[in-house]
């Protein structure tokens, strides 16, 4: 059959259903996926040497014929395969371990090429565990469909592998697709754009990235493919914004200057410069007939909730209702307390809606009150229940949007009144690197709170190795006794895991810590507890009846305990810096000195360097940038980042390419949003998706 880029990978010769199933583990499902599964590094086998000139320590390629091959056992019981090979300049032994199958494949008299490291084995100089191939008459270093070298004598691509799929297998299939029986590869980027951006043609880039003649050539080819990937991301962000602004209408929300001034005057604090700027941006958006689509990013305690409260105040004073949805009941209850404190004195009704809200209250409409009553609703996903039917919503606020599914976000956005879409504000305390924000939120306006309100104390942070664990426990006990403060102890797991035997679980650690801190009241909190149990544990801790709360990262957001002064985190190396920074932000909210202790048993130097950055860096975005460089985008949230586009070739720290792709999309769509001048490019961009964050 004729192959296309969309042909399932199983139909590529020598793939079949078994290999196709293995490929799926690597995210490879089609011919396109296979061609775009690019190497993550290259073995340099380009030094071609006669056997008589090789030296220990060199990585070389030799062309030779096989004199003999045998298997024997060493004195220690290792099974060794040894081949004697020769060329016109000499002979050398080739050594492999535990590869008995080679005796069925390599036979005396065969002419082969071997690439590997020259080393010493006992008293002999040998070619140690090389890759090898039988190549026809082309010179070493050539590649192609007629017998050129793929595995030796060149920069040899090394791919992400899985069981049963080796890099050698990938080279053979990619070579077939590029040079023998593969699909037509048309370039969606016109030559005029490629020339302006100094990009190679697509087919050339694919050939070069898999089989480069030099590292520089490989990087130029990778840059082209990364540019394409970022172009897709930027285009879909543009399309989302274009469709949002051209198809959706909102009620214009305006608050009289006198009301706003009175509200700000009654606050028990003065807004920071960042808060004032962000508030101006939000109120400006609300005044438009196009619905606001803005994300407010700020560290824990930076004052996001007060800005949301002011926006909701503006909405209800304009004759509409407002809704705030949080991912957990703990966070919803925290927001309810804060917003009630700010809005109830203004005679605005604040209603909490969670799974505990009585069904009869929803069905009988007692939640809703008279239509003219100024009301704000704060709740969990219970706000999405069919029994919760609130009309005239002018503003929807979602906290920590990435914790909700697309369908849940869409349900809130779909709550129209008279054909109008609510204004939409999302908040997050998760630090987002500037480069990620520039790419990820191209379709959403961004407000960032970099500064903290006055009076917040800097939290002293220490990395605690396992040999100082007991001393740290003693220090925590003394500090609680001296300051009458309280401590969080965070464990990454709820229960013991067979696969993560070294990671402490909260259920077992709770029992151990009760014994260690005998005489102190130790509470327990985790996500599998019933709502009533969670509330009881939190209420005891909030009231000071418990001195220590052992918990999972469920406390990451939504818990405000001014008397908490110590945050101790077990297995801290398993968390992203952004998540550790959020957990750290749960203490230091009162007037007492506060501390964060990062416990770790790891001896990995890079992991310790990463954790040590928390001892000196207190900016969430800066920590996120560090994590991005050291661990990649997938770990910004500690596990896989929810909602983050899964780039496979491009990098979020590649600022230059991100900006170049963004400039091109802006230039092409400035007067032609449908890309009518470039139909092939538009088709290519429409067909490919990378996972942009959208408000469907």
- String of DSSP letters for 44-110: E---B--GGG--TT-EEEEEEEEEEEEEEE-TT--EEEEEEEEETTEEEEEEEES-TTHHHH--TT-
Lowest mean pLDDT among 496-505, 610-619, 669-678: 496-505
349-373 average pLDDT score: 65
pLDDT at 454: 64
pLDDT digits (tens, 9 = 90+) for 247-269: 899 989 989 999 999 999 999 88
Predicted confidence band of residue 86 (pLDDT cuts 50, 70, 90)? very high
**Residue range of the domain that includes 8:** 1-40+160-184
Indicate whether 413 and 520 sit together in one domain: no
Confirm whether 681 is domain-assigned: no
pLDDT digits (tens, 9 = 90+) for 281-296: 999 999 999 999 999 9
Confirm whether 576 is domain-assigned: yes
Confirm whether 212 is domain-assigned: no
Statement: residue 233 has pLDDT above 80: yes
Predicted confidence band of residue 457 (pLDDT cuts 50, 70, 90)? confident
Lowest mean pLDDT among 10-14, 94-98, 434-438, 477-481: 434-438
Indicate whether 177 and 33 sit together in one domain: yes
Indicate whether 35 and 104 sit together in one domain: no
129-147 average pLDDT score: 62
Predicted confidence band of residue 416 (pLDDT cuts 50, 70, 90)? low
Considering the chain, what percentage of its residues have pLDDT values greater than 70?
85
Predicted confidence band of residue 331 (pLDDT cuts 50, 70, 90)? confident
What mean pLDDT is reported for the chain?
A: 85
Statement: residue 63 has pLDDT above 80: yes
pLDDT at 12: 94
CA quadruple 377, 381, 384, 388: dihedral, nearest 10: -50
Indicate whether 407 and 512 sit together in one domain: no
pLDDT at 365: 47
Confirm whether 129 is domain-assigned: yes
Lowest mean pLDDT among 84-88, 182-186, 383-387, 681-685: 383-387
| CB neighbour class for 87 (10 Å; exposed up to 12, middle 13-18, buried from 19) | middle
Predicted confidence band of residue 191 (pLDDT cuts 50, 70, 90)? very high
Statement: residue 404 has pLDDT above 70: no
Last residue in a domain, options 570, 601, 617:
617
* In 590-678, alpha helices (H): 605-612, 620-631, 655-669
Statement: residue 403 has pLDDT above 50: yes
**DSSP code for 50:** -
Confirm whether 560 is domain-assigned: yes
Predicted confidence band of residue 370 (pLDDT cuts 50, 70, 90)? low
Lowest mean pLDDT among 65-74, 207-216, 349-358, 644-653: 644-653
pLDDT digits (tens, 9 = 90+) for 112-122: 999 999 999 88
Q: Which residue has the tokens 């239509």?
A: 371
Statement: residue 593 has pLDDT above 60: yes
Predicted confidence band of residue 182 (pLDDT cuts 50, 70, 90)? confident
Statement: residue 363 has pLDDT above 50: no
Statement: residue 508 has pLDDT above 90: no
Indicate whether 402 and 419 sit together in one domain: yes
Stated length of the chain: 696
Confirm whether 522 is domain-assigned: yes
pLDDT at 249: 92
Indicate whether 386 and 535 sit together in one domain: no
Residue 426, SS3 per DSSP: strand
Residue 377, domain CATH: 3.40.50.300
Residue 26, domain CATH: 1.10.150
Confirm whether 148 is domain-assigned: yes
CA distances from 618 to 431, 598, 622, 633 (A): 11, 14, 8, 20
Indicate whether 521 and 602 sit together in one domain: yes
Indicate whether 513 and 579 sit together in one domain: yes
Lowest mean pLDDT among 268-282, 368-382, 485-499, 511-525: 485-499
pLDDT at 68: 95
Residue 110, domain CATH: 2.40.50.140
Confirm whether 172 is domain-assigned: yes
Indicate whether 34 and 54 sit together in one domain: no
Indicate whether 350 and 481 sit together in one domain: no
pLDDT at 180: 86
Lowest mean pLDDT among 107-111, 436-440, 442-446: 436-440
pLDDT at 476: 94
Last residue in a domain, options 580, 595, 617:
617
Statement: residue 641 has pLDDT above 60: no
237-246 average pLDDT score: 89
Handedness of CA 572, 576, 581, 586 (dihedral sign): negative
Q: How many CB atoms lie within 10 A of CB 144?
A: 15
Q: How many domains does the chain have?
A: 4
Which helix (H) or strand (E) segment holds residue 475: the answer is helix 469-483
Indicate whether 276 and 366 sit together in one domain: yes
pLDDT at 497: 44
pLDDT at 502: 42
Query: Largest Cα–Cα distance in the chain?
Result: 99
Indicate whether 55 and 137 sit together in one domain: yes
Statement: residue 409 has pLDDT above 60: no
pTM (two decimals): 0.74
């Amino acid at each position: 059959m004729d192959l296309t880029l969309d042909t399932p990978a199983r139909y590529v010769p020598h793939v079949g259903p078994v290999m196709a199933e293995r490929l799926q583990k690597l995210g490879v499902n089609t011919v396109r996926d296979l061609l775009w599964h690019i190497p993550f590094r290259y073995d340099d086998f380009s030094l071609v040497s006669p056997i008589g000139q090789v030296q220990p320590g060199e990585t070389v390629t030799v062309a030779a014929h096989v004199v003999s091959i045998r298997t024997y056992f060493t004195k220690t019981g290792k099974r060794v395969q040894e081949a004697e090979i020769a060329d016109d300049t000499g002979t050398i032994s080739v050594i492999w371990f535990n590869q008995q199958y080679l005796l069925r494949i390599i036979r005396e008299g065969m002419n082969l090429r071997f690439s590997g490291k020259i080393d010493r084995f006992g008293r002999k100089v040998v070619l140690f565990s090389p890759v090898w191939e039988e190549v026809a008459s082309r010179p070493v270093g050539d590649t192609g469909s007629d017998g050129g070298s793929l595995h030796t004598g060149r920069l040899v691509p090394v791919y992400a592998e899985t069981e049963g799929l080796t890099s050698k297998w990938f080279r053979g299939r990619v070579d077939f697709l590029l040079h023998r029986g593969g699909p037509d590869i048309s370039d969606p980027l016109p030559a005029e754009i490629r020339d302006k951006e100094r990009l190679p043609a697509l087919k050339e880039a694919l050939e070069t990235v898999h089989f480069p003649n030099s590292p520089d050539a490989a990087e130029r080819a990778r840059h082209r493919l990364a540019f394409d990937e970022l172009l897709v991301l930027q285009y879909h962000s543009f399309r989302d914004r274009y469709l949002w602004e051209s198809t959706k209408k909102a009620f214009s929300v305006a608050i009289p200057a006198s009301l706003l001034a009175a509200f700000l005057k009654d606050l028990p604090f003065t807004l920071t410069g960042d808060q004032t700027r962000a508030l101006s941006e939000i109120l400006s958006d609300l005044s438009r007939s196009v619905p606001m689509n803005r994300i407010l990013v700020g560290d824990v305690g930076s004052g996001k909730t007060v800005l949301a409260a002011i926006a909701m105040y503006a909405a209800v004073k304009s004759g509409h209702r407002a809704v705030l949805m949080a991912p957990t009941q703990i966070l919803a209850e925290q927001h309810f307390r804060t917003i009630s404190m700010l809005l109830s004195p203004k005679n605005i009704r604040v209603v909490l809606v969670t799974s505990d809200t009585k069904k009869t209250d929803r069905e009988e409409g007692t939640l809703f009150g008279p239509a003219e009553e100024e009301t704000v609703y704060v709740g969990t996903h219970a706000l999405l229940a069919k029994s919760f039917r609130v009309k005239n919503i002018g503003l929807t606020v979602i906290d920590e949007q990435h914790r909700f599914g697309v369908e849940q976000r869409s349900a809130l956005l779909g709550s129209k009144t008279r054909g109008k879409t609510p204004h939409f504000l999302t908040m997050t305390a998760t630090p987002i690197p500037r480069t990620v924000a520039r790419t990820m939120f191209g379709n959403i306006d961004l407000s960032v709170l970099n500064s903290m309100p006055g009076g917040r104390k800097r939290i002293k942070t220490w990395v605690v190795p396992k040999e100082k664990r007991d001393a740290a426990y003693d220090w925590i006990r003394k500090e609680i006794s001296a300051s009458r403060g309280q401590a969080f102890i965070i464990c990454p797991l709820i229960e013991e895991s067979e696969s993560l035997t070294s990671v402490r679980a909260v259920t077992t650690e709770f029992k151990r810590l009760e014994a260690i801190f005998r005489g102190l009241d130790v509470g327990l909190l985790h996500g599998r507890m019933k709502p009533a149990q969670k509330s009881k544990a939190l209420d005891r801790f909030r009231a000071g009846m418990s001195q220590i709360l052992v918990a999972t990262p469920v406390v990451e957001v939504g818990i405000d305990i001014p008397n908490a002064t110590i945050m101790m985190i077990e297995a801290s190396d398993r968390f992203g810096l952004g998540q550790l920074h959020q957990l750290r932000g749960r203490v230091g909210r009162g007037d007492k000195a506060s501390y964060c202790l990062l416990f770790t048993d790891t001896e990995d130097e890079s992991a310790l360097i990463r954790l040590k950055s928390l001892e000196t860096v207190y900016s969430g975005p800066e920590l996120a940038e560090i994590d991005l460089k050291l661990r990649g985008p997938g770990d910004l949230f500690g596990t896989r980042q929810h909602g983050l586009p899964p780039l496979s070739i491009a990098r979020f720290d590649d600022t230059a390419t991100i900006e170049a792709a963004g400039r091109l999309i802006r230039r092409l769509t400035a007067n032609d949003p449908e890309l009518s001048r470039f139909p092939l490019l538009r088709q290519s961009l429409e067909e490919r998706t990378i996972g942009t964050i959208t408000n469907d």
